[in-house]
A = this chain, B = another copy of it.
């Protein structure tokens, strides 16, 4: 197959990300969020909040590339809810297989580059991967707070569980962590979130 045809086929295949549903509700509670719009929202978040990253010399375009592709594997592997302990048991294996299958639609050079980007995000070791993770934790927190904890209550989530989930933001520190700590406290005070 010609290179361009491979690329177009990949771009049509990833249209399916628009149908991978997450647990989070939209801010107005009208419906659940899908992975494609979530990925867009994270990229916007990185663009707007980059100044709060712990590492001042952050390669922001690299963060954005990572956020755009970080959930693609869920087209085949499905979304695993952040607090689903059973789902997490085989998450890594399911997603590795999905990554191989999906990225191999692309020409070899791009398949390798995308796979490397995705693995960098998953490992969370570089400053860019760490800030991408900060965005990926902050966005559902904002939506959960905005929707008065509807999803937290549905799944019996407590503030300890949320605090643990926000560890990448605690590690980032600074004003963003102060804000998040305050938001969780306020969620408990307003009974959006169980203590």
- Which residues of chain B come closer than 8 Å to A8, judged between CB atoms? 142, 179
Q: Please tell me if A27 contacts chain B, counting CB pairs below 8 Å.
A: yes
Q: Please tell me if A15 contacts chain B, counting CB pairs below 8 Å.
A: yes
- Which residues of chain B come closer than 8 Å to A4, judged between CB atoms? 49, 52, 175-176, 179
Q: Does B11 contact A45, Cβ atoms closer than 8 Å?
A: yes
Interface residues in A, total, Cβ within 8 A: 44
Contact of A14 among B12, B36, B44, B106 (CB under 8 A): B44
Q: Does B68 contact A143, Cβ atoms closer than 8 Å?
A: no
**Distance in Å from the Cβ of A117 to the closest Cβ of chain B?**
10
**Distance in Å from the Cβ of A76 to the closest Cβ of chain B?**
15
Q: Does B44 contact A11, Cβ atoms closer than 8 Å?
A: yes
Question: Hey, which bits of chain A sit against chain B, CB under 8 A?
Answer: 4, 7-8, 10-12, 14-19, 26-28, 30, 33-34, 36-37, 39-41, 43-45, 47-49, 52, 60-61, 64-65, 68-69, 106, 110, 142-143, 146, 175-176, 179
21 contacts between A and B (CB under 8 A): A4-B175, A7-B49, A8-B179, A11-B45, A14-B44, A15-B41, A15-B146, A17-B37, A18-B33, A18-B41, A19-B30, A34-B37, A36-B37, A36-B40, A40-B43, A40-B68, A43-B43, A43-B68, A44-B69, A47-B69, A48-B106
